Structure 1
Amino acid sequence: MSTHHFSRRTMLRGLGVTMALPWLESVPVWGDTPKASSPGSEAPVRLGVLFCGNGFHGREWWAKGEGKTLELGKVLQPLNDLKQKTLFVSGLYNAEAQKGNIHSSQTGNLLSGAPLASGGEIRSGTSFDQLVAQKYGQSTKVPSLVLACEASNPSVHKNYSMLYSSHISWSSPTTPTPLELYPALAFDRLFKDEVQRGDKSVLDAVLADATDFRKDISTGDQRKLDEYLDSVRDVEQRIDKAGKKGELQGWRPTLAKPNMDRPKDGIPQNLADHMRLMCDIMVLGFQTDTTRVCTLKLNNDHSSLRFPHLGIDYMIHHLLSHSDTADWLKVNQFFVEQLAYIAKKLDGIQEGSRTALDNTMLLFMSSMMNGSHDNSQLPAVVVGGGGGRIKGGRVLTYRDKPNRQMCRLYLSMMDKMNVRPGKFGDAGEMLNEV
């Protein structure tokens, strides 16, 4: 590889491995023609959606002010350092979700605004993240990365399938997009040609190609490449370490047969570690342009997660949501910390004159305002610049305005990625202020 060609994308290749490179100023990674005044290409816009079920603390989800005077309620305190890149949107709602008034009927169409079938039947609508993925699917290795930290629930609750509570991303009206619960498999999907555990690390497989490629890029890009490869190695090592402890899929057994009864179904690892690995994998997916669309379902609506790492192990998430206690606030902040972690990592990745966060839209939301099932207005914040097209440090309020469909926000976000269906869900126009 003494000479590299950049007709579409730049990859490092090795046996069974294809690794996309991060945005580099000295090479036109996305196929742009270099200009004398601007030798690099413009990084793509990415879309990330993070979902937290059961709403938030009834008195502490708020924002007011603008710019440097923007104030955030206690739930959103982890975003304090990112206020200038945060857009707080209030008062939007989903009309179809108000028909059932239970968790599953309020969640299954959160990203589509489509009518839901009841009676245990499965029918929703294609979610907006998947419309974006359909456009960019031919440009990236993984059209859409759909991650989760709580397993799907296939039961029926009050005449509605609980699959609605377990899936926010839908590939078609009858097909919830499959969830990836295991960090190791999500990591493999990004970097390996076949999703299976191998003995050789991703970096080891592409090391020769990376060494050769490094000779042809600028000193600044060499540093960026080294930082990027170090971040890939860090995730690999953490997954491998967790696997040796028997915490993640791909673990190495130390016994020929079990020496204890089969434990209850569930994800057998520390919740905080699980979420953090998924956050890192989302960042890597965006940083490498292996995917431009990712949804991360931190938990289900009607969630059964517990939080012993917070000292809160006496009640599951769903029951906690029915009382505005200090513990409930602590749990809320834990979820927002995941958003802040992703945003800060992206903001530390320079892509020309902007950061990766400036080129990303991170939508954080729930399908109800609080645990009393209030979905007359839905909580939503957007962190990131959408390729320089979204101004942060603002509060947009639509509570007493007409045409306050949540799908109008989706139309606005799709527009930032040049996806313009004209109409989506129950909305026919964008939110011009976004």
Structure 2
Amino acid sequence: MKRSFTRRTLLRGLGVSMALPWMESIPVWADEAHASTGEAPLRFGVMFSGNGFHKDHFWAKGSGAEMETGQVLAPLADLREKMIFIRGLYNAEALKGNIHSSQTGNLLSGAALSSGGEIRSGTSIDQIIAQHNSNQTKVPSLVLGCEKSNPSVHKNYSMLYSSHISWSSPTTPTPLELYPALAFDRLFQEGARREDKSVLDAILADAKDLRANISESDRRKLDEYLESVRDVEQRIERAGKRGEMQGWKPPLAGPNMARPADGIPQDIAEHMRLMCDIMVLGFQTDATRVCTLKLNNDHSSLRFSNLGIDYMIHHLLSHQESDDWLKVNQFFLEQVAYVARKLDASQEGERTTLDNSLIMFCSSMLTGSHDATKLPVILLGKAGGKLETGRTLDYLDQPNRKMCSLYLSLLDKFDVKLDAFGDSAERLAEV
């Protein structure tokens, strides 16, 4: 008998399962709504970098292929027709403390933050969407980070606010996964961790059966996809052998402490790129439809030796308007561009995975001088055809310029209909 392959059966092996990218031979998705139409589901991603950007170079004007951008956005130049640049939005509650933690903990919720060391914010937009779609994928929400949480208190606000943008409830920041291997396992592994066999090795027999029942073009797509998974596996294995935290730099010629545990790449560029690849794989395989990737903390202590900039931590560098600061800004935008290009290279019928996604890139301040009166926001992807891209939108002089108004509009794209969210009960015009 021929085996019937569907999104629900996946590829399976001992202790693991792995969903597949869209294929013309298998036009079915995991939930009934998409199964009936054969259309790909909509994904939501948030990418965040703290400390803002160079004050002279974060801008865009015009539309479509003729859109002009400042130097910070140069890495996104080839994606202009698939992005929306938004200027002028803000969170009123974030202006009260005027420090990093008080401007970051409510970035995705607009909620009032408790001070005095108490932890209270609001459920973030990514988790609202994840909770709405919780039964449709293996992992309802993947929350990734590239810098450890900071549990201290700064000027009467917990620094956990600077460390978390995703909140599962007003009192619960969603745990960050810093280890690429563990994030990878969460997407593809079932049960206890296996030390001696890769995910691909475990499901190769299932994959072989599948190849016999799909078209030639889908076979090529399957081979390319499996190769990309193997590449991520191998890079995780290599990176995990090189040290603990990429932001840590030994102050002595030799160590005066025990060696940190394996698991997190020492190289910040490799750490971020691995997390970007895992985000893409999560969306391509339909293992998750919601992913938040926090590239660093606000008030970050990362250094950028990979850029030849190792004399100052990120936070202090953000208070300069130097060429090095611009170079760091562009490094973060390169991660966003990398995710968008990989999603755009993945075809799902007539659209790409990027077309079937809505990726928001943001920071909790426009510049390192703590300017949160107009937040940097970029949207990438067409939200399954629900969003017109290739535009610049300026709300600075508009009566409604609340971030939560944007969130209400975005929630509508995911069929999450709310009367109000955070501090807004009004949708944002033109989104």
TM bucket normalised to smaller? over 0.9
1:145 aligns with 2:109: no
1:375 aligns with 2:372: yes
One-letter amino acid matched to 2:308: G
Match of 1:310 in 2: 307
Match of 2:272 in 1: 275
Match of 2:316 in 1: 319
Q: Deviations for 1:70-121, whole angstroms, at most 9, x for unmatched residues? A: 0011000000010000100010000011111110000000000000000000
Shift of 1:23: 1.2
Select 2:240's aligned residue among 240, 243, 254: 243
Match of 1:176 in 2: 173
Measure, in 1, the Cα distance between the counterparts of 2:265 and 2:239.
11
Asked if structure 1 preserves the Cα contact closer than 8 Å seen for 2:239 and 2:264, the reply is: no
Secondary structure at 1:410's aligned position in 2?
helix
Secondary structure at 1:423's aligned position in 2?
coil
Secondary structure at 1:414's aligned position in 2?
helix
Shift of 1:27: 1.4
Q: Deviations for 1:299-346, whole angstroms, at most 9, x for unmatched residues? A: 000000000010100000000111110000000000000000000000
Match of 2:292 in 1: 295
**What is the identity percentage for the equivalent residue pairs of Structure 1 and Structure 2?**
68
1:17 aligns with 2:16: yes
- Structure 1 residue runs of 4 or more that deviate by more than 6 Å after TM superposition: 32-35
Bigger CA drift: 210-219 or 180-189? 210-219
Match of 2:424 in 1: 427
CA separation of 1:324/1:195 partners in 2, compared to 1, >3 Å: closer, same or farther? farther
Q: Deviations for 1:330-374, whole angstroms, at most 9, x for unmatched residues? A: 000000000000000000000000000101111000001101111
Shift of 1:287: 0.3
The two structures, once aligned, show a CA RMSD in angstroms of: 2.3
Match of 2:193 in 1: 196
Measure, in 2, the Cα distance between the counterparts of 1:166 and 1:18.
32
CA separation of 1:123/1:34 partners in 2, compared to 1, >3 Å: closer, same or farther? closer
Asked if structure 2 preserves the Cα contact closer than 8 Å seen for 1:64 and 1:70, the reply is: yes
Q: Deviations for 1:204-245, whole angstroms, at most 9, x for unmatched residues? A: 101111111111112221111111111111101111222344
Measure, in 2, the Cα distance between the counterparts of 1:403 and 1:365.
19
1:26 aligns with 2:10: no
Measure, in 2, the Cα distance between the counterparts of 1:155 and 1:332.
26
Match of 1:3 in 2: 3
Match of 2:250 in 1: none
CA separation of 1:389/1:11 partners in 2, compared to 1, >3 Å: closer, same or farther? same
1:284 aligns with 2:281: yes
Measure, in 1, the Cα distance between the counterparts of 2:17 and 2:99.
44
CA separation of 1:11/1:105 partners in 2, compared to 1, >3 Å: closer, same or farther? same
Structure 1 gaps, min length 5? 250-257
1:103 aligns with 2:126: no
Shift of 1:196: 3.1
Q: Deviations for 1:153-195, whole angstroms, at most 9, x for unmatched residues? A: 0000000000000000000000000000010111011100136
Shift of 1:408: 1.1
Measure, in 2, the Cα distance between the counterparts of 1:384 and 1:377.
22
One-letter amino acid matched to 1:100: G
Measure, in 1, the Cα distance between the counterparts of 2:18 and 2:86.
36
One-letter amino acid matched to 1:106: Q
Measure, in 1, the Cα distance between the counterparts of 2:33 and 2:148.
46
Asked if structure 2 preserves the Cα contact closer than 8 Å seen for 1:33 and 1:41, the reply is: no
CA separation of 1:184/1:424 partners in 2, compared to 1, >3 Å: closer, same or farther? same
1:74 aligns with 2:82: no
Match of 2:257 in 1: 261
Shift of 1:31: 5.5
One-letter amino acid matched to 2:266: Q
Match of 1:167 in 2: 164
Secondary structure at 1:387's aligned position in 2?
helix
1:134 aligns with 2:141: no
Bigger CA drift: 410-419 or 286-295? 410-419
One-letter amino acid matched to 2:25: S
Q: Deviations for 1:236-290, whole angstroms, at most 9, x for unmatched residues? A: 11112223445699xxxxxxxx986236899551000000000000000000000
Bigger CA drift: 291-300 or 23-32? 23-32
One-letter amino acid matched to 1:262: A
Measure, in 1, the Cα distance between the counterparts of 2:304 and 2:176.
22
Q: Deviations for 1:3-40, whole angstroms, at most 9, x for unmatched residues? A: 2153x6240111100111111122132158999xx997
Bigger CA drift: 99-108 or 24-33? 24-33
Asked if structure 1 preserves the Cα contact closer than 8 Å seen for 2:242 and 2:266, the reply is: no
Residue-pair matches, total:
423
Match of 2:218 in 1: 221
Match of 1:385 in 2: 382
